[in-house]
Structure 1
Amino acid sequence: MGVVEFKDRGFERSVKELLNIKSERITAEDLSVVKGIMVTVGKASGFPIPWIGDSAAFSMIFPDITFNVNDSDNGQWIADMEHFVHIKSLHIYVPTINLSFLKGFYNLKELYVLGSDNKEWSFLQSLMSLRYLYLQNCSFSDLSPIGNLYIEQFKQHERERTEPNTFHIFNGLEKLYLENCGISDITPLVDCKFINDLNLSHNEISDISPIKDISSLYYLTLRHNKISDINPLGEIEGIYFINIRHNQIKDISALKKHRSSNLSRLFLA
């Protein structure tokens, strides 16, 4: 495989060190072993898993490469990400204004972004392998790209399911965390039937009816919104965890439907 040229020598040095590359040049073959990258400000080696689970508090993510942007020579590390379009997980925990470079990351299964002012999110629709999406403190009020991605993932699933002598489970988006993103309209989620972990905390949401038909929903967190009507929650069969603290809820009678159901963890305040 050919030699890879980095624009950011600081990023290149970090890659060499973390992959224990002794040669002067880095090749595409050297980088092919990289499955995950974390970009941070300051020193870090891992990140707590944000998805809810009884053992989640004890779980950490440790990507193959952790890059501290303070070690960058010229801030061109984003341009150098073109050498890693094959990776499966990416964590960007530094301020960004343009994430369009992610459009070609077709193998990406997990994307975590903190504090981005990126305005154009249509690239999400091309990430057909995406299963986990985590956005916190981002400019992401329009959920249409997520709805469109899900529709395309489901179409692909249906095509594969019709193949003879094969069995396919849905491998699309299943965990979605969108905290403090300025969201008020969650209508695009109406098509996201197989999400099992949904966190929409610290937004401007009042109408939660689009989620009532998400049949696979197991964990739901809607803290710090403007919700008063929780009747749609009574329609979600099989749900195990609900956290709707810090809303405008006065009537919780809709939850009576879950008396003999799977609901075991409920947080109200």
Structure 2
Amino acid sequence: MPAVFVLIWSTGFIVARFGMPHAPPLTFLSWRYALSVLCFGVWILLSRAAWPRGATQWAHLCVTGALMHAGYLGGVWAAVKAGMGAGTIALLVGLQPVLTALWLSRSQHGENGTSVSPRQWVGLLLGLLGLLLVVWRKLGAGELSPFNLSLAGLALLAITVGTLYQKRFVAPCDVRTANFVQLLAALVVSCPLALLETEPIVLHPHFVGALTWSVFGLTLGGSSLLYLLIQRGAATRVTSLLYLVPPTTALMAWLLFDEALTLLMLVGMALTALGVWLVARTEGKPES
């Protein structure tokens, strides 16, 4: 299941490249959420899946939906629309395990916390050095700007907070009904913002294909797997899977879009992956 998740999740950044020339980001995502809600609704009716219990759980699922779908995907797709490459955005948001592990390393020991371990500091520095090696050329080439970097930062913050929030507050429940509630919340957040976009949708085959895969592959498949992984595993171990996404996405983007993949960038990605692994890996008894 983890390997399948990594492959599916990596295609999300590729789909953004295919879809963005033919639709504004929040409009595309609103269609994705609406169709996904419809699909999950039919699935729930046919299977008679159990709904989350209590208003509190519904509220927690709405918060995670707004963060992990509307906030994260909105930031990623808007950054791609603003000119950021698929491999670059994947690498930037792939730093999530670093933030997750650093937060957990302190919060799990109370307000006074404990210092971040030397191993984690080494990992953090390696990750930042690797990121610098990857984006340095892109800064000079004009791919990155303060605007799309801010959007990527928003996406990174949303997926990190959403993952921690879900692990902390969302009780185990049926993945189908949980996704239904989360996606409905994301739709409520995204729709008003989509109305502000003026660019029309072009019914190009790339748009249709990207929307179809987004609904069935990424949302019904990828998001369900992510929910199950967070529900069944420790937060640090789950998020550490994401350090495999940037190199996978970069390879896909190189094959499909001819995005640059130089030796220096490969070294940078390797350093970032090593750094994230050092920060996110657990020692001793696994986290429960």
* Range class of TM-score, shorter chain: under 0.3
Structure with more contact order per residue of length (Cα contacts < 8 Å, sep ≥ 6): 2
Larger radius of gyration: 1
- Looking at secondary structure, tell me which structure has more strand per residue: 1
TM-score, normalised on structure 2? Answer: 0.21
